[in-house]
């Protein structure tokens, strides 16, 4: 039931005759993965064939100590081909699916024909002859499994080899022996082909299952990221919210205490904001908040942490910043907003209080100093920047 669910979810089906997806994108993606797997299987298959080749060569040497020149040539051709192909696959970094299928098919045909040719050197009633036949049957099975060939390609190659067997052995065997060997080869092909068909069909369904799982995992991760962002973001302005600002204040305070890195806090308040809400309504007031937030984000530095502290107040944490640098930053923001035109409202101004981290002050103390500096700016005419060091009661304290 799951397989049908994945098919419906992606709106893709597997052609039962060609074993291919009816979606071109899915087919290319599957074949890319298949290509990587086939490469590994191909290397393993060739290495296994080299080992079998060596074992059969030892067997030939034991049975026929004096090998004739033709057999030596066949052995040499087979050995050179296998070693060259194995070396090629290990040192080439790029492979196309067509090339993999080509080399896999060539390996299947040549090795099969060589095994067939060498078997003709042994008496038909000898154990070695039977071992070569058994090895050939094993190779047919490997064409569907170890060598990484696709089912259709492997089936075509094995059928070609079987026809070659029929052509070569028909003149060497009696009718009963010939039919027996043909039935043996045919049953091996049939069994191996059916197994390969089921294996590739299941592999394609597993591909859909993994793709579905990966997509679900990606959606969950994106959803978690959205939740994390929402948890630290002010919904109206898109700036950090108070919870995030407090977390960042703790982090910056730890850096100040550990490395004595200067850091300042800039507290911003929109002048006469209540009058905007009373005269123009809360929607216009929200537009003013959003525009001020946009200006603060745009004209602060990449290292500054900007957020909405509450209501019409904004807080800027300025790491690695001295009081003089923070004063310049605050004055620049005040000047930009003063010259800005707000829809329906016209001109608006801000008041700013600035304080810095000092030895012996807690986070609450730093915020309180900035708030008192802001209150002083409001009390003395608004649209100005006041530093906490300018307030006598804080300076004497």
Task: Give the SS3 label for residue 66.
Answer: coil
Do 317 and 263 form a contact (C-beta atoms < 8 A)? yes
Extract the tokens encoding 307: 């957020």
The separation between the first and the last C-alpha atoms of the chain, rounded to the nearest angstrom, is 75
Largest CA distance in the chain: 119
Q: Which of 131, 139, 148 shows the shortest CA–CA distance to 189?
A: 139
List phi, psi (to 5°) of 269.
Answer: -135, 135
Answer whether 74's CB lies under 8 Å from 117's CB.
yes
| Torsion of Cα atoms, 200 then 201 then 207 then 209, to 10° | -150
Pairing of strands 263-270, 313-319: antiparallel
Which one of the listed residues 124, 312, 313, 340 is annotated catalytic?
312
DSSP H or E segment with residue 284: helix 282-299
- Cα Rg of the chain (Å, integer): 40
Helices vs strands, H then E, count in the chain: 13, 9
Distance from C-alpha of 230 to C-alpha of 174, rounded to nearest angstrom: 83
Place of tokens 């069994």: 191
Computed from CA positions of residues 159, 163, 166, 168, in that sequence, does the dihedral angle turn out positive or negative?
negative
DSSP code at position 230:
H
Residue 22 CB partners (closer than 8 Å, separation 6+): 12, 13, 14, 15
* Segment holding 302, helix H or strand E: none
Which stretch of DSSP H or E encloses residue 51? helix 24-63
Provide the token pair at 392. 């006598």
Residues in the chain: 397
Using alpha carbons only, what angle is made at residue 14 by residues 201 and 4, rounded to the nearest 5 degrees? 90
312 noted as active-site residue: yes
Q: Kindly list the catalytic residues.
A: 312
């Amino acid at each position: 039931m799951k397989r049908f669910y994945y098919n419906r979810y992606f709106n893709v089906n597997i052609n039962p005759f060609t074993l291919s997806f009816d979606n071109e994108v899915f087919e290319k993606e599957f074949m890319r993965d298949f290509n990587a797997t086939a490469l590994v299987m191909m290397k393993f298959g060739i290495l296994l064939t080299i080992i079998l080749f060596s074992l059969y060569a030892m067997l030939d040497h034991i049975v026929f100590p004096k090998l004739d020149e033709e057999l030596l040539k066949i052995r040499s051709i087979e050995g050179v081909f296998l070693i060259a192909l194995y070396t090629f696959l290990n040192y080439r970094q790029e492979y196309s699916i067509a090339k993999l299928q080509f080399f896999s098919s060539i390996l299947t045909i040549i090795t099969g024909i060589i095994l067939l040719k060498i078997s003709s050197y042994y008496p038909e009633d000898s154990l070695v002859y039977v071992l070569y036949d058994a090895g050939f049957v094993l190779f047919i099975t490997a064409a569907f499994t170890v060598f990484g060939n696709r089912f259709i390609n492997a089936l075509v190659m094995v059928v070609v080899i079987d026809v070659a067997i029929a052509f070569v052995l028909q003149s060497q065997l009696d009718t009963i022996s010939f039919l027996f060997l043909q039935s043996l080869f045919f049953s091996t092909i049939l069994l191996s082909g059916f197994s390969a068909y089921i294996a590739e069909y299941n592999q394609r369904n597993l591909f859909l299952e993994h793709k579905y799982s990966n997509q679900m995992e990606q959606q969950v991760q994106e959803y978690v990221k959205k939740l994390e962002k929402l948890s630290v973001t002010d919904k109206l302005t898109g700036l950090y919210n108070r919870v995030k600002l407090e977390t960042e204040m703790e982090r910056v305070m730890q850096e100040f205490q550990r490395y004595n890195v200067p850091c300042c806090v800039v507290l911003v308040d929109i002048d006469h904001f209540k009058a905007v809400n009373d005269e123009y309504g809360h929607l216009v007031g929200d537009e003013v908040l959003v525009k001020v937030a946009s200006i603060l984000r745009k004209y602060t530095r990449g290292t500054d942490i900007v957020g909405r502290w509450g209501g019409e107040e904004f807080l800027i944490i300025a790491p690695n910043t001295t009081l003089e640098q923070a004063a310049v930053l605050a004055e620049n923001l005040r000047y930009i907003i003063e010259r800005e035109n707000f829809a329906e409202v016209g001109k608006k101004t801000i008041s700013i209080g600035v304080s810095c981290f000092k030895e012996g002050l807690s986070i609450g103390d730093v915020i309180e100093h900035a708030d008192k500096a802001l209150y002083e700016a409001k009390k003395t005419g608004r649209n100005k920047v006041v530093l906490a060091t300018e307030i006598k009661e804080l300076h004497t304290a």
